[in-house]
A and B are shown apart, each in its own frame.
Chain A
């Protein structure tokens, strides 16, 4: 009995640190994609550009729409929105050419890095959102 429990614990531990490792890898991959695809507009530090391009850092919009992030990136965003009390209306073009994994990774990164408290989405949740956006396209 003890042996079984021990084995079980070992597997649990192993899988735990494994998935954490994968998470780290995905996030650093996501950071590269952010730099290449988002930072010229939203800036490296997520501060945005004056009243023209909204900030991601501590954005209430991002917090309230975290579920829509994959589709927002995939389809772009048009129309007036309010972020932290200021309104923005320049259109964000769709970010083209990302693979599903790249899209998932950049979302992971953005949700880790910019909200006041990081927003955790489960793998499954994130991937189902990513799938929906790809289907819609």
Chain B
């Protein structure tokens, strides 16, 4: 027992510190290094992958671009209104996030439809209102079909494409993608899991502190 006590103590300290440790979030994607001159000396600078520029339209027919998200952290996700499988669960979870950050002007939520032919602007407007969104902080985006799919794949490491073998006719990943103020992806969370979405909100708090 005597021997055990120090071990217990150490593991307890370890436990405590791991709890209070506000870990840094990873930065997703390939990175490049570049030599730059600072004060006459050559230093290595790291260039992180960022979400590419985009142009979409929201449920109120407003154009939404990279300028809209400038200086804010945001979450991107993909859905379609007639989706019979995971979308309603994801939207239930997104409501939790929306409720928590409602009114915080540093946070945006962008839900992209992957079925732009069916999900018209009028339909998205109705969808948004019914979910309780004010349409400003939580926006529902549509646009050119290929541009949306490319954005999913290249910008957000997500899958979104038609697939006639899937219920509803589309396959898409249920991820919530967390993007920081410099448009770097900092986390991908399973939007159908209550626990992961709780984790996401903790990470959002960390990102928001990073910017203070």
The CA of A91 and the CA of B80, in the complex, are separated in Å by 13
Question: Quick one: CB contact mask for B136-156 with A, threshold 8 Å, 1 for yes?
Answer: 000000000000000000000
Contacts of A90 in B (CB 8 A): 81-82, 127, 130
On whether A51 and B85 interact (CB within 8 A), knowing A43-B92, A93-B168, the answer reads no
Restricting to B70-109, which residues have a CB under 8 Å from any CB of A? Answer: 81-82, 84-86, 88-89, 91-92, 95
Question: Quick one: CB contact mask for A18-52 with B, threshold 8 Å, 1 for yes?
Answer: 00000000000000000000001101000001111
Q: Is A133 an interface residue (CB 8 A)?
A: no
B211 to A: closest C-beta gap in Å = 30
Q: Is B131 an interface residue (CB 8 A)?
A: yes
Q: Is A53 an interface residue (CB 8 A)?
A: yes
Supply 16 further A-B pairs (C-beta < 8 A) apart from A49-B91, A90-B81: A40-B85, A40-B89, A50-B91, A50-B95, A50-B131, A51-B129, A51-B131, A51-B132, A52-B127, A52-B131, A90-B82, A90-B130, A91-B82, A93-B82, A93-B84, A93-B168
- Give the 5 A-B CB pairs with smallest separation, nearest first: A51-B130, A52-B130, A41-B88, A93-B84, A50-B131
A-B contact pairs, 26 of them (CB 8 A): A40-B84, A40-B85, A40-B88, A40-B89, A43-B92, A49-B92, A49-B131, A50-B91, A50-B95, A50-B130, A50-B131, A50-B132, A51-B129, A51-B131, A52-B91, A52-B127, A52-B130, A53-B88, A89-B126, A90-B82, A90-B127, A91-B82, A93-B82, A93-B84, A93-B167, A93-B168
